[in-house]
Amino acid sequence: MIQNISEHDRENLQESLAKSGQKVTPQREVVFSVLLAKRDHPTVDEVFHRARETMPGLSLATVYNCLQTFVGCGLIRQVNHERESTRYCPNLAPHAHFRDAATGRVHDIELPPEVIQSLRSILPPGFDPEAIEVSFHGRALAGDAHPTL
Amino acid sequence: MIQNISEHDRENLQESLAKSGQKVTPQREVVFSVLLAKRDHPTVDEVFHRARETMPGLSLATVYNCLQTFVGCGLIRQVNHERESTRYCPNLAPHAHFRDAATGRVHDIELPPEVIQSLRSILPPGFDPEAIEVSFHGRALAGDAHPTL
DNA sequence: GAGATGTTTTGAATCATTCTAAATGGAGAA
DNA sequence: TTCTCCATTTAGAATGATTCAAAACATCTC
Ligand SMILES: [Mn+2]
Ligand SMILES: [Mn+2]
Ligand SMILES: [Zn+2]
Ligand SMILES: [Zn+2]
């Protein structure tokens, strides 16, 4: 599944990196394209194996470096559940995560502004949130009626 | 700060353990009392050091064992933020956590039923949550106006 | 080309957590 | 009482994700 990045995505990558004085490299491009190709919240190891199909010499440390860089640029988000390996998500819209107990798969769940507002409203005065994380854990009925959005 | 457990709390411990065929031991009692004494979401290492003030021979492995046992019994909850060390919380009421970026402290935030309902409502049909986790990260204005509830 | 700078690579180090196997201790049977 | 059984505790080794350190590479400028 060798996948190329679209012109639009490459520009997005280029500009986001440029904002913090960093450059597009072949490794970064491959890692980014892996994230865009299958938005299933892969772990570092999964990204590593997928990226190696395109670039066999790529090292694990570089995958860690790239992902960290992208998170720093705001290109992707980290997703943690309990103490499992960190997963990565290129969906920048506000959303929650649902981890299916049966399959281990992580689904994106849209988080509407009014729900975010209701969450903010429970904070006593003086609490100023920079980030809000919502995650569900349970069973999701088979039928892949809900592709990772 | 050697702390004794109340009769009420000891019964709670005894009955919860009994439900899964387990017994109160001196170690379990000390670890449980540490959690009740200061409800500040301590890490395993913090529990370990506090418990050792009362029981100097206590081992780290036992602290891990006790905490795992208590989580299994539903006596306490695990609290994770990103990939930091797991923290433990004896507050069984539905609540969210706010991690203060400045101090690292974790505060309990009450989660009213209507907010929980609004969170459930964003799930598409077929998603059946067993657990919902909400966590905030940001600044909390000094004044300890909000003791861990 | 030489120097500067940022990036990648390898392998070692870190650190929370789990595992293993040996010791301990209490409850009940003999 | 002494013996047996069984859960629990203990010390230390193992695990596994992540980070770190230092050398190799690339690219750019002078
Ligand atoms: Mn692998
Ligand atoms: Mn320590
Ligand atoms: Zn996502
Ligand atoms: Zn709590």
B104-136 pLDDT tens trace: 999 999 999 999 999 999 999 999 999 999 999
| Cβ partners under 8 Å of residue A3, min gap 6 | A33, A34, A36, A37, A54
Any strand C atom closer than 7 Å to A65 CB: yes
A111 closest CB neighbour out of B86, B122, B137: B122
Do the chains contact at B107 and A96, CB–CB below 8 Å? Answer: no
Q: What is Dmax (Cα atoms) for chain B?
A: 53
Q: What is the mean pLDDT of chain B?
A: 93
* One pLDDT digit (tens) per residue for chain A, 149 residues: 566 889 899 999 999 999 989 999 999 999 999 999 999 999 999 999 999 999 999 999 999 999 999 999 999 999 999 999 999 999 999 999 999 999 999 999 999 999 999 999 999 999 999 999 999 999 998 655 545 44
List chain A residues with CB under 8 Å of B136: 123, 127, 129, 131-133
DSSP notation for A17-34: HHHTT----HHHHHHHHH
Q: Just give the CATH number of A93-138.
A: 3.30.1490
This prediction has a pTM of: 0.92
Rounded CA separation B20/B1 (Å): 31
Do the chains contact at A118 and B122, CB–CB below 8 Å? Answer: no
B140 closest CB neighbour out of A127, A134, A139: A127
Q: Which nucleotide is nearest to B59 (CA to C1')?
A: D10
Residue ranges of chain B that CATH labels 3.30.1490: 93-138
Burial of A146 (0-12, 13-18, 19+ CB in 10 A): middle
Instruction: Place B148 in a pLDDT band, splitting at 50, 70 and 90.
Output: very low
Residue ranges of chain A that CATH labels 1.10.10.10: 7-79
Any strand C atom closer than 7 Å to A2 CB: no
Distance A71 CA to D28 C1' (A): 27
Structure letter (DSSP) for residue A124: P
Do the chains contact at A131 and B110, CB–CB below 8 Å? Answer: no
Quick one: CATH architecture of A7-79? Orthogonal Bundle (1.10)
Q: Which residue has the higher pLDDT, A104 or B142?
A: A104
- Tokens standing for residue A53: 């199909």
Rounded CA separation B75/B15 (Å): 10
Cα–Cα nearest to A14, from A2, A30, A34, A28: A28
